[in-house]
Structure 1
């Protein structure tokens, strides 16, 4: 079934239908953010399955919104406060969608031993110590890294990191299977062919290479190592991935991009 789904996705990439692509884009915007979309547009299960291709584009829009808030706030407030307001804006527009995945994964992997325990804890809506600590640390690192960057560089890196981190997270769909037998995410995140993933990569990864392509290349190299480690870990613990795992991966990649760019500029 996974090969068949990947073949269907590849066929959709080869034959782009503007009306279908509009539905997929609306589905992606409605699923991955809190932005209102036209009622009923992109609501079908097939639309959700096609929405994953626009994952990085939604990230670029979220990053651009955060960058705009940051640049406006920077004119009035200290840089550190401007970054916090920008972070609050992106959390608001996404509903902390990926941060929730980060917290759920840390709770599950930190507190569960057997595969069944890990999956059960992931579904628990309550946050535990592991999740709370991970969430606080991730937000603090993001805050400090962006505040330490020159303002115009920080604004661009917000866009690049939000877009590229989502494209990198989606790469897990090429090599891993969905770990649950059921679940809403199963309709959205299906096994992808390399050809289908090419469009996702094209929408998300080029943002890294401007204005400093060397820093972008370094960030991509670090992300490739992190991707390999996460893929092996998810496969060993779960036999695949869940929607929370993708949120966890997106957050790790985003943080890694900020830190690599900061290290490159500071060196």
Structure 2
């Protein structure tokens, strides 16, 4: 049984700080077997954040509850994707050549572009989430976290790895993600979106469009400037997809909860 669910445990181990008994160390070709579960793990993270939002909303309103919900996601993931969006901004905006950009992205220190982008990512998510009714914000958190991880799967499916494989922290797959795994990932993403669709189909459609548009920006920039993706670009994709979904939902159903 443990062997059957090991890919899911690996996905949880990679994307969260949760202890995962029975998970193998993240090496070899674990990504290819675990990637289909990324949207499911995203939905799980979203449910935790949604729970924090709904509970906090019974005590506080607006920005306080939204801040606690966003921080819950940051803590649960160990700021994995926040680190990615900051490093990506530093590299893509701060370097002049492909080699410079890759070197800056790999540098763990945060620069001006990264700091501004990180603050903007946090503030946008908090402020937009605070503008939504709590129940709709909770649904948007589940959908956003799931869609963000689906964006990671998509980027890994269509772009090659642009970094140095020998020095990469993970063994990113050299082969494309299979059709069957992509279908499973899409199904898990649909499950993550379901609550939002039931709550407000129009907001869900607008949020999906926003997530696709915003989530594609890091991948398109990386394709042009780096020739492919690196791990931090995947983190930036997740963050932008979340922001795009929240903005889309708020454009249709935003209130005055701030």
Q: TM-score, normalised by structure 2?
A: 0.89
Match of residue 130, structure 1, among 89, 113, 120: 113
Q: Which residue of 1 aligns with 2:52?
A: 69
RMSD of aligned residue pairs (Cα, Å): 2.1
Q: Which residue of 1 aligns with 2:64?
A: 81
Residue 252, structure 1, aligned to residue 237, structure 2: no
Deviations 1:225-264 (A, max 9, x none): 4455544322111111011111001100000000000001
Deviations 1:32-62 (A, max 9, x none): 1100011554645233431111111111111
34-43 or 63-72: bigger deviation: 34-43
Q: Which residue of 1 aligns with 2:183?
A: 198
Aligned length: 250
* Compared CA separation, residues 228 and 28, structure 1 to 2 (3 A): closer
Alignment of 1:140-159 (within 5 A): 140-159=123-142
* Compared CA separation, residues 23 and 254, structure 1 to 2 (3 A): same
* Compared CA separation, residues 131 and 250, structure 1 to 2 (3 A): same
Alignment of 1:115-264 (within 5 A): 115-182=98-165, 183-187=168-172, 191-208=176-193, 209-264=197-252
Match of residue 55, structure 1, among 38, 44, 56: 38
117-126 or 48-57: bigger deviation: 48-57
Q: TM-score, normalised by structure 1?
A: 0.86
Any unmatched runs of 5+ in structure 2?
A: none
Any unmatched runs of 5+ in structure 1?
A: 1-17
